Amino acid sequence: MSNFATKNKPTASEYLAATDTELLERLNNSSVQSEFPFIQSVVAVRTAESQRNTNEALVAKTMQLVYATWAICAVTLIAVFVSLSCK
């Protein structure tokens, strides 16, 4: 068990710096009811940050796919025009 999980009164910055495992240990071992919503809030914020990072990465990959599709279309049109002009 970690030091954070057994600490008497951790500060807000210690909650934010704690790992997910430490937060879950504290949540499971704590008898202070008012601490539950706070720990759940910290976990919810981390989840939201993770989703935001994932969404940003997904948008970046989608833009790469769009640019690649445009490039393929442009090359195809150029090839068609070149082949038509050679006839």
Q: What is the pLDDT, as a whole number, of residue 50? A: 95
49: which 2 tokens? 């940050």
* pTM, 2 dp: 0.64
pLDDT digits over 35-70, tens only? 888 888 888 999 999 999 999 999 999 999 999 999
User: How buried is 23 (Cβ within 10 angstroms: 0-12 exposed, 13-18 middle, 19+ buried)?
Assistant: buried
